[in-house]
Amino acid sequence: MIPVVAIDGPSGSGKGAVGFAVARRLGWHYLDSGAVYRALGFAALRAGVDLRAEPAVTALANSLNLQFVQDLSGEMRVLVNDEDCGLALRSEQVAAAASQVAAHPAARRALLERQRAARRPPGLIADGRDMGTVVFPDAVVKVYLTASAEVRAARRYHQLKETGFGGTLPQLLAEIQERDERDSRRAVAPLKAAGDAFVLDSSTLTLAEVIEQVLALVRSRVGAVPSV
């Protein structure tokens, strides 16, 4: 069985940076499942689909032409229906749309196989909200990475400043809390730690410390894995 490491947690907990770095170190594949939902949110906004309309959103999910392409600098580019989403995929507008489309059970089902198809040798690091609970329940390591809402909002603020997007700290905190609320309360695949997940609070840890802790967990479960 191809090993999967599931890293779930709320927005801004650092899952993306940790998942990507761990995948690099191990030479494994990496699935950013949030980008899949963001791509659907992006496509729905583009097509003017009502984000609350489950059948229309699901039809869009079924027909979504989604490609992850690594460019020469190693950056992952996301193409939705052949259009490069660029930085728009990381905007708060697309994040909010992603959270809304992700609340539809049928749309989630439509995206399930696409995510499972990312499981390829020698292994996969998958980050999201339901990697350990729904998509890869047999993951060898499940990490639930979290941090206080204030720390997550501050991280997001610095990240957005770097990419040139605006937003004030109180506004970002309110948006994060709203998204947490919606992602945790939805009926299907809500944001929650799997019963067998290792809960890691990154509020007072550096990125490097979190990466080392996750790598140590992987080694303890999978045995000696090459590290590059």
Is the distance from CB of 57 to CB of 51 less than 8 angstroms? yes
Tell me the closest approach of the beta carbon of residue 182 to ligand DC, in angstroms.
7
Tokens of 125: 């690091």
CB crowding 73-85: b at 16 or more within 10 Å, else e: eeeeebebeeeeb
Instruction: Find the binder of ligand DC among 25, 104, 142, 179 (CB under 6 A).
Output: 179
Is the distance from CB of 3 to CB of 125 less than 8 angstroms? no
HEC readout, 17-44: HHHHHHHHHHCCEEEEHHHHHHHHHHHH
Of the listed pieces 23-31, 53-61, 97-105, 150-158, which binds ligand DC according to CB under 6 A? 97-105
Q: Which residue is nearest to ligand DC (CB)?
A: 34
102 part of the interface to ligand DC, by CB under 6 A: yes
Instruction: Find the binder of ligand DC among 23, 95, 153, 210 (CB under 6 A).
Output: 95
* Element housing 141 (H / E): strand 141-146
Binding residues among 180-219 for ligand DC as defined by CB under 6 A:
183
Tell me the closest approach of the beta carbon of residue 26 to ligand DC, in angstroms.
21
Tell me the closest approach of the beta carbon of residue 227 to ligand DC, in angstroms.
26
Of the listed pieces 34-42, 151-159, 163-171, 208-216, which binds ligand DC according to CB under 6 A? 34-42
Nearer Cβ to ligand DC, position 178 or 227? 178
Residue count of the chain: 228
Mask: binding to ligand DC, 107-146, rule CB under 6 A, as x and -? ---------------------xxx----------------
Nearer Cβ to ligand DC, position 38 or 155? 38
CA–centroid distance for 80 within its chain: 17
In degrees rounded to 5, what are phi and psi of residue 70? -85, 125
Among 152, 139, 159, CA closest to 9: 152
Interface positions with ligand DC (CB under 6 A): 11, 33-34, 37-38, 95, 98-99, 102, 128-130, 179, 183
